[in-house]
Structure formats: structure tokens, C-alpha cells
Amino acid sequence: MPELDLLSTLFVYVIPIIFAITFHEVAHGWVASQFGDQTAKSLGRLTLNPIKHIDPVGTIVVPAVMYFASGFIFGWAKPVPVNWRNLGHPRRDMALVALAGPAANFLMLLFWAILAKVILLLGSEPNYLTQLIFSMCGIGIIINIVLMILNLFPLLPLDGGRVLTAMLPRNLAITFSRLEPYGLIILVLLLVSGILWEILMPAIGVLKTLTYQLIQIP
């Protein structure tokens, strides 16, 4: 990856992040609409316009502060609203709606990997623009892997927590759901302490290696 100035670095990071969170949230809303809940659609959230999904604090302020403080980016978008009462099979459908977000990130990491491979196959004389795009592809791969694995962690309000809630017996699901108001605090504490990265990094590393091997990116 070439050395980038501040403006180029922001460009290389911001575009993959915006794509990742936008497709993630739209996927939730689109799958919910297929199962009967049109809440997201009625609110105009089934759009690829990132402005509809940006949370001023979670998408802009927190990632910027964390990047300049630690070099790591963490944030969130406005959650797509889903009314489980409108779903045909609420528990099953909520699990599938939750899984749609990580699935969208998986497709996005394939997009960035294939784009990187195309750049390599073209084999033209590298210039600053192609190096910039190739760097963006690498960031896109990593960001989508991290978002996918992180969101599958079984903690509410993450997608993995939604899936676990759907799989648990009803009485346990109700008990587990009571943790949701504290979920973001727990998540931040796990991230800051490094405990969560100890859990997630093996899976992130394996998926990154597999992606690079399958597409044969050096």
C-alpha cells in the first residue's frame, strides 16, 4: 500500500466505510420487506443514498476520534427499523433479517477483492490513481470482514445477538433481551479492553487469508 497524505487516506477509508454501512443497513430493510414488514421502505431507508443511513455521532464523530486517537476505526449507522409484528414468522424472520447485514458485508468484501484482482490483471503501469484504488480495495476488504465478524458476535444489539435471541427458547430469549439497553456499553468495554479482539481476530485473520488466497492477491 503506498504512503498516502491525509486527504487521500480519508478518501481511501471513507468510501469503503460508507459503502459497507449503507449496504449493510439496506440489506436488513430489504429482507424485512420480503417477509412482510414495510417499515424501512415507508421511511425511505431502502435506498443506497448514504445520507439516509448516516448517524452524525456513530458514523462521523466516533470513527474520526478513534482514527486520530488510535489509528483504528469503529462506528455505526442509524439502525434500519424493523417491526417484528409485521413478519410472517417473527422469530425465524428476525434471524434472517439480522443475517442479511453480515451477508451484505460478505458480498462487499468480494466486490473489493475482485476489483483489486482486476487492477492486478490489467497490469498497466501503476500510477497514483490505480495505487489509490488498490489501497481502497484493501481497506474495503478489511472493513467488511471486520464488520461481518463483529456483527455476528452474539451480543444485542448486534446482529449475532438477534440471531441468538431467535434461537433461544422463548423464556431464555426474553431474559437475554433484557441485556440490550446495556449492549453498546458492554461492546465498547470489550473493545477497549482488547478482550473482544482476542476473540474475533482469529476469525478475521482466517477470512482475510482465505479471501486473498482465493482471489490470488499478493
Residue-wise pLDDT for 3-36, tens only, equals 566 677 778 888 898 899 899 999 999 999 999 9
Q: Greatest CA span in the chain, whole angstroms?
A: 62
Instruction: Please give the average per-residue pLDDT across 194-217, as a whole number.
Output: 91
Domain that holds residue 40: 6-215
pLDDT one-digit tens code per residue, 152-179: 999 999 999 999 999 999 999 999 999 9
90 in any annotated domain: yes
pLDDT of the residue at 73: 63
Neighbours of 1 (CB within 10 A): 12
| H helix or E strand, kind and range, residue 199 | helix 195-215
Residue 165 CA to residue 177 CA, distance in Å, equals 7
Instruction: Let me know if residue 1 belongs to a domain.
Output: no
Domain count, the chain: 1
The pLDDT of residue 175: 95
Residue 125 belongs to a domain: yes
pLDDT cut 70: percent of the chain above it: 90
Over the range 71-107, which residues count as b (16 or more CB within 10 Å of their CB) and which as e? eebbbbbebbebebeebeebeebbbbbbbbbbbbbbe
**Active-site pick, 25, 125, 180, 198:** 25
| 198 annotated active-site | no
98: closest CA among 87, 78, 82, 109?
82
